[in-house]
Amino acid sequence: MMNLGITQQEFILFLLVFTRVTTAFVIFPVFNSAMIPQQAKVGAALFITLLLMPLINHNSIATPPDITHIIFLISREVLVGLILGFLSSLLFIAVEIAGQLISMQMGFGIVNVYDPESNQQVPVVGQFYMLLALMIFLAIDGHLFLLEGLNKSFTAVPLTTAHFPSALTEMFVRISSGLFISAIKIGIPIIVTLTLTNVALGLVARAVPQMNVFFVGMPLNIGMGLIALAFSLPLFAYIFRSIYTHFQNDFFQVLQLLGR
């Protein structure tokens, strides 16, 4: 270690910073894409760690007495990175829930496509919403905010000083409940349109019993759903930007709780 020109304290500092950055990168939207090679992710995390190292007080980290204490400090930084990454991933949960609700209403509940981001099958409408939300996220520099927030986390939550109060759990419960409300807001135009369409089909079935409503209803639901989806895209963009604004405030509130 000495022949590298660094002290044990500096190496431990680097290890702790790299742990928090890498853990957050594993979950951060955009950066966690399965289409990005693992070597590139590790290289980016290493590069960001090297950029952050001069900004952190080297004297703030005391040399741990043994390996057990070092593992404890690393585990604490892993938790900080996981919390920040999980909070960022919640940004797209409302979009995913809205896509699933709309797919069920349109009759696309079993029409799934492979999502290379999550490496699983997702509803086709949900995939469309996720890609649209990802483009909006990049257009409003959301990825740059994540990097900025990661940088500020070392000021708000200095290394080895993170706390995990019960208020943190309460805050995540509040955020999760708000995401379900946002999902309903995103999907309400399509859901209302399809509900009115089904009511109209029911009235037609009562007036014209000879008509095969099931034969007409499926393509009609899909057509009306796609039309409502197209007209509701501006509303989707507005709601997602609102979710992103709340996410920014929640991100810094979580940092404050962790740094207490």
Residue pLDDT, tens place only, 143-193:
899 989 888 888 888 888 888 888 888 888 888 888 888 888 888 888 898
Asked if 250 contacts 172 with a C-beta cutoff of 8 angstroms, the reply is no
Domain ranges of the chain: 2-258
Structure tokens at 3: 């022949």
What pLDDT, in 10s, does the model give residues 36-72? 788 888 888 889 888 888 877 666 566 666 788 888 8
Query: First and final CA of the chain: distance in angstroms?
Result: 34
CA 52 to chain centre: 24
The sign one gets for the Cα dihedral 191, 194, 198, 199 is: positive
Distance CA 160, CA 18 (A): 13
The sign one gets for the Cα dihedral 172, 178, 184, 187 is: negative
Identify the pLDDT of residue 126.
Answer: 79
Residue with tokens 């959301």: 142
- Residue of 153, 176, 181 lying closest to 77 (CA atoms): 153
Model confidence at 9, pLDDT cuts 50, 70, 90, reads: confident
Residue 114: strand pairing partners: 121
Identify the pLDDT of residue 166.
Answer: 86
- Residue of 16, 54, 23 lying closest to 160 (CA atoms): 16
Element (H, E) at 112: strand 112-115
